[in-house]
Amino acid sequence: MICDLCGKKPATVHLTEIIDDQMKELHLCEDCAREKSAQMEQQFGLSDLLAGLAEFEKPTKELETERVKCEACGLSYTDFKKVGRLGCSECYISFKKYLGPLLRRIHGSNYHTGKSPSKLTQVVKKKAGLEELRLKLQKAIEMEAFEEAARIRDQIRDMERKQSKDSGKSKE
């Protein structure tokens, strides 16, 4: 495959851009990829992206976040929004309440769902599905949607029964 920009060298870098629900793939050689990377970094850096996403908070939360500081390094949440980088490992704990929604907006989830060994994939998926259902159950209870909560509870029980049957079969 040849580079989409220069049309001369073989493409070794493959980028996927999603803008307004439209996916566009770019196949670039190393030189064009390096140039494109430099252009993108000049337009906005990661810190700008994080800061921009953090600014979507509700105005009432904004007053609350102005006072939040990491006790270990002294970084305030307001400074994190400006810089886009946490000061230390304790910042994750200090800002946990605010980082969760931010990570959900960026990644679509708070949980890592990356690659795993093929033999473990089914087990991991089942555990993740069960954990997701438990979170949905908790939210349904908080929202007092008790019929939905009962339905989710039944799904959890069914999954747990299947898992215990599967683990019983594997021991035999």
* Helix/strand/coil for 22: strand
Domain spans of the chain, in order of start: 13-43, 47-107, 118-171
The pLDDT of residue 148: 92
Least Cα distance to 61 among 12, 6, 100 occurs for 100
| Cβ contacts of 12 within 8 Å, gap of 6 or more | 28, 29, 30, 33
Q: How confident is the model at residue 90 (pLDDT cuts 50, 70, 90)?
A: very high
In 8-58 the beta strands, taken as DSSP E runs, fall at 13-19, 22-28
pLDDT digits (tens, 9 = 90+) for 52-76: 555 544 444 555 666 788 999 999 8
Cβ(14)–Cβ(25) below 8 Å: yes
Cβ(127)–Cβ(134) below 8 Å: no
Distance, CA of 70 to CA of 79 (rounded, Å): 11
* Helix/strand/coil for 23: strand
The pLDDT of residue 60: 43
pLDDT digits (tens, 9 = 90+) for 124-153: 667 778 888 899 999 999 999 999 999 999
Cβ(148)–Cβ(171) below 8 Å: no
Instruction: Provide the phi-psi class of 7: left if phi over 0, else alpha when psi is between -120 and 50, else beta.
Output: left
Q: What is the mean pLDDT of the chain?
A: 78
Distance, CA of 119 to CA of 122 (rounded, Å): 7
Indicate the helix (H) or strand (E) that contains 151. helix 146-171
